[in-house]
């Protein structure tokens, strides 16, 4: 992995679709963007921030995320997630993450990712699947 400059920003934009709603997880929940869908967009934004710094054969995995989901987003609204690199220690990166819909900020927090050798990682998963 090439050094990732502090302040590098990644983004992910999507329209909130029916399959991303909390009510899709459980019909008793509200028909608004689910927290897992918001978190997925934050992870994709972090991956976008680091993508250009990965060497061939490298990938990344999420290690931790702590976010607050502070506002509801109805289906059909455009959602934008942003991730800013705040720390880079070896193969571990930390990000400030935020998400917005068309009207307001809907969530914020921190996220950590680790860079890995994709072939070695996939081999470990194969071994785990056999046991």
The catalytic site residues sit at 35, 43, 69
Residue 117 CB-half CA count within 13 A = 4
Write down how long the chain is: 131
User: Hey, is 16 helix, strand or coil?
Assistant: coil
d(CA 129, CA 53): 30
**Sign (positive/negative) of CA torsion 25, 104, 83, 86?**
negative
């Amino acid at each position: 992995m090439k050094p990732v400059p502090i302040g590098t920003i990644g983004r992910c934009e999507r329209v909130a679709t029916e399959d991303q709603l909390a009510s899709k997880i459980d019909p008793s929940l509200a028909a608004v963007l689910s927290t897992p869908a918001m978190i997925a967009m934050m992870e994709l934004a972090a991956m976008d921030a680091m993508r250009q710094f990965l060497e061939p054969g490298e990938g990344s995995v999420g290690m931790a995320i702590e976010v607050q989901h502070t506002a509801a987003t109805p289906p059909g609204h455009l959602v934008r997630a942003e991730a800013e690199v705040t720390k880079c220690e070896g193969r571990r990166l930390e990000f400030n993450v935020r998400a917005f819909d068309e009207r307001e900020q809907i969530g914020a927090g921190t996220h950590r990712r680790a860079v890995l050798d994709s072939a070695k990682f996939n081999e470990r998963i194969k071994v785990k699947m056999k046991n």
